[in-house]
Amino acid sequence: MTPADPKQGSCYGCGATVPVSSGPTHRYIGASPGCWEIYGRVLARDYGPLGMPPEHRLIVDAYAAQHPGRDSPQSVRSVALHLIALHLVLEKGTSPARATAALRHHAKRRDFTWLTPPEDPGSVTVVDLYVEAGRERYAELCFAWAASVWRSWSGHHAVIRAWAAGRES
């Protein structure tokens, strides 16, 4: 995929070069139709041939945090929960399964606030994961993508850590 290709464009969420598409998008995740389609293909691979790898939690969290959308109740909640999960897995060493369980608790909260998205959404995107076929490299890329997205939100880490600890920001 090259930016000069008229059939390619940039995702307005992550900046990745993706196919131009008039397909569907998510109602509050801020991804272009082409990027949303690639994400769907990655999820299909996760649910199918890869048999739900442990890194699946990171894929969902990295994608949602990298495509925060606009300030709305759904987006605020989505971004907060996915960033909490990234914090738990990447900084606290929580297993993806335990992070999912923790999110069930945090999902009941109503004190999340909108976090201004970073100007740079991170250097790794769903496209990087999509083009990688090997299982070992796939797992590495999942963690690299999650870490890249987590770093991009560094200006809000104190707030996210407080939320993860059950405190208001």
Would you state the pLDDT for residue 168? 64
Helices (H), 25-156: 33-47, 56-66, 73-90, 96-106, 126-131, 135-152
Cα torsion 27, 31, 33, 37: sign? negative
Would you state the pLDDT for residue 133? 64
> pLDDT for 32-47, tens place per residue?
999 999 999 999 988 8
Q: Domain residues of the chain, as ranges?
A: 8-164
Beta bridge partners of 8: 19
Quick check: 135 and 50 in contact, CB under 8 A? yes
* Mean model confidence pLDDT for the chain: 91
- Angular region, 124: left φ>0, alpha ψ -120 to 50, beta rest: beta
Would you state the pLDDT for residue 6? 62
Looking at the chain, the whole-number percentage of residues with pLDDT higher than 70 is 95
pLDDT, tens digit only, all 169 positions of the chain: 445 566 889 999 999 999 999 888 999 999 999 999 999 999 998 888 777 788 899 999 999 999 999 999 999 999 999 999 999 999 999 999 899 999 999 999 989 999 999 999 999 999 999 987 677 788 899 999 999 999 999 999 999 999 999 876 5
> pLDDT for 77-94, tens place per residue?
999 999 999 999 999 999
